[in-house]
């Protein structure tokens, strides 16, 4: 796992149930090591100018930077990103940290609007907390979700959609070791896992998926489903829409603003997707009640 995890010493307390002659129960104390998901700062530079700093789990950093630039509305085509490279950076022991990435953009790409007054620091828990206002991040997407070339390819049976969280969980190797990271998985409408990324920040995990797609020349991501391990926030809806993703599904709840933006953007937003049920909050036409060729069951009589 390398820099993905860090080992720390900890004291584990285990309690046994109270029983006859042992009203207070028993407590066992064990000293041991635990694997934690690594969290380090990543400075993103455009040319030689600092643009943002985000807290992330090291790994797939080029995907993270590329996806972040897509999410910020700076780029939307792979040709607009000329190069990515790690800049020199050392820790207190003189070791290379790989915590600074410089992106070179094509000369005709407009640099981000400084009027957004974005703070340089972005935490791993929230990707837009440093933005001056919510209105400032309602960016216009270059991909119109309602204009999918093949609407049928964007439809997915509800039962298959509900199975994606389990499929995602089966592939979460870092979560298996640490229990402390979010995951984002990009699936085809047939349920094939195309890309999975994990990170302490859920917005980082999504950016890593979007960045992978940009660098692979796959944008816009029509006909795909983005399954995330946590809740569906405004920022995740925005990132999905800007990448041309038509269905965003989360295992937990969406926020009210996420639902509002999804409705405006033409994105199908799914929440509480947990194997046996799911809630579709916007644009339910992309979710099929049954796979093609299987008749629907009649609604129960009242």
pLDDT given for residue 228 in this prediction: 97
CATH, domain range 40-137? 3.10.20.10
pLDDT given for residue 185 in this prediction: 97
Spell 187-226 as b/e; 16+ CB within 10 A means b.
Answer: bebeeeebbbbbbbbbbbbbbbbbbbbbbeebbbbbbbbb
CA distance 173 to 35: 13
Residues with a catalytic annotation lie at 126
Contacting residues for 156 by C-beta, under 8 A, at least 6 apart: 189, 191, 225, 247, 286, 287, 288
Q: What is the pLDDT along the chain (302 residues), one digit of tens a residue?
A: 458 888 999 999 988 876 666 556 688 999 999 999 899 999 999 988 999 999 999 999 999 999 999 999 999 999 999 999 998 766 666 666 689 999 999 999 998 764 444 444 555 555 554 444 345 445 567 888 865 545 667 799 999 999 999 999 999 888 888 888 999 999 999 999 999 999 999 999 999 999 999 999 999 999 999 999 999 999 999 999 999 999 999 999 999 999 999 999 999 999 999 989 999 999 999 999 876 555 554 444 44
pLDDT given for residue 299 in this prediction: 45
pLDDT given for residue 111 in this prediction: 85
pLDDT given for residue 128 in this prediction: 53
CA distance 210 to 285: 24
Domain boundary assignment for the chain: 2-36, 40-137, 145-288
pLDDT given for residue 65 in this prediction: 98
pLDDT given for residue 120 in this prediction: 46
Domain 145-288: which topology? Cytidine Deaminase; domain 2 (3.40.140)
CA angle 261, 213, 169 (to 5 degrees): 80
Structure tokens at 297: 């069951």
pLDDT given for residue 35 in this prediction: 92
CA distance 108 to 22: 75
């Amino acid at each position: 796992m390398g820099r993905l995890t860090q080992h720390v010493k900890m004291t584990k307390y285990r309690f046994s149930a109270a029983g006859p002659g042992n009203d207070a129960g028993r407590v066992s104390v064990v000293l041991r090591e635990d694997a934690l998901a690594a969290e380090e700062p990543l400075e993103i530079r455009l040319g030689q100018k600092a643009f943002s700093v985000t807290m992330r789990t090291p790994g797939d950093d080029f995907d993270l930077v590329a996806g972040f630039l897509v999410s910020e509305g700076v780029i939307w085509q792979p040709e607009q990103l000329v190069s990515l490279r790690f800049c020199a950076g050392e820790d207190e022991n003189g070791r290379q940290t790989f915590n600074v990435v410089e992106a070179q953009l094509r000369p005709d790409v407009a640099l981000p609007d400084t009027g957004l007054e974005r703070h340089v620091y972005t935490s791993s828990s929230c990707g837009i907390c440093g933005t001056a206002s919510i209105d400032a991040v309602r960016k216009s997407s270059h991909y119109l979700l309602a204009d999918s070339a093949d609407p049928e390819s964007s439809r997915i049976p509800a039962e298959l959609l509900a199975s994606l969280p389990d499929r995602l969980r089966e592939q979460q190797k870092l979560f298996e070791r640490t229990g402390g990271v979010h995951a984002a998985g990009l699936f085809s409408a047939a349920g094939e896992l195309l890309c999975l990324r994990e990170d302490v920040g859920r917005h980082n995990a999504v950016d890593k998926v979007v960045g992978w797609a940009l660098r692979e020349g796959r944008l816009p991501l029509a006909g795909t489903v983005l399954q995330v391990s946590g809740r569906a926030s405004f920022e995740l809806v925005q990132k999905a829409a800007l990448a041309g993703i038509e269905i965003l599904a989360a295992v937990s709840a969406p926020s009210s603003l996420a639902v509002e933006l999804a409705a405006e953007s033409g994105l199908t937003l799914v929440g509480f997707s947990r194997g046996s049920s799911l809630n579709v909050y916007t644009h339910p036409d992309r979710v099929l009640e049954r796979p093609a060729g299987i008749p629907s069951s009649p609604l129960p009589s009242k």
